[in-house]
Amino acid sequence: GLGQLAIGAGGLDIAVAMGGGPYYVEMPEVVNVHLEGELPEWATAKDVALHLLGELTVKGGVGKIFEYTGPGAEKLTIPERTTITNLGTELGATSSIFGTDEKTRDWLARQDREEEYVDLQPDDDAEYAETIEVDLDELEPLVAAPSMPDNVAPVSEYEGTDVEQVIIGSCTNGAYEDILPSAKMLEGREVDKGTEMIVAPGSKQASEMLAREGWTAEMMAAGVNFSEATCGACIGIGHV
């Protein structure tokens, strides 16, 4: 989301690199995901990634880097861009990236890091292995049903389904902007006794902002359990 190219590596690869050995990466194809429009009410950045998963499957990004461009990309906030690039992992992508712009500069300035800003945009004559068009105006809230991330359907298809556990957090759902709407919906209410709700802010900064504004206490009073930022709940090994 900040114009950074990040590529995952296994433990052995990292150990070899730390010892001075080379880290080999097969040259990936670069796919242009061209975004038009603007996210409608209730649709979120996660729905952009889920839409791609529904179209391409969890194997659709193998050996590829997804580069997000277009006027729709410019309208996304930095946390929204980060959510989309993080979820590129579920596509099997080597990496995902957005260019930088004034929103990037402003975000870095708010973090006292403006000097780190670098203007990064694709060349005018950039060529891509493939271009995927996504109209953000047409997206609706989506859900990935068990048991694969690409088993995608509109949330409306699951209306009335009993929910036993709700988890808000992780690397793609733990920003202040992700948690705040839920906090506001819970104001003056209680979590149903048949449902466990867990919130795991994705950063110390998000945790501090929620606490300073009183939302942490409000949610705890409603019956929410708070957790550290971990992968435990996402991969089904519990939470702390």
Does this model's pTM top 0.85? My answer is yes
User: What one-character-per-residue DSSP string does 132-150 give?
Assistant: EEEEGGG---EEE-TT-TT
Q: What does the pLDDT look like over 129-166, one tens digit per residue?
A: 999 999 999 999 999 998 899 999 999 999 999 999 88
Residue 234 lies in a domain: no
CB-side neighbour CA atoms (13 Å) of 221: 11
Quote the tokens at residue 55: 């179209």
Other C-beta atoms lying within 10 Å of the C-beta of residue 224: 23
> Tell me, what CATH number does 175's domain have?
3.30.499.10
One-letter identity of residue 58? V
Residue 232 lies in a domain: no
Containing domain of residue 199, as a range? 162-226
Residues 147 and 213 in one domain: no
Q: What does the pLDDT look like over 34-88, one tens digit per residue?
A: 999 999 999 999 999 999 999 999 999 999 999 999 999 999 999 999 999 999 9
Residues 114 and 168 in one domain: no
Question: Residue 65's closest CA among 91, 104, 35?
Answer: 91
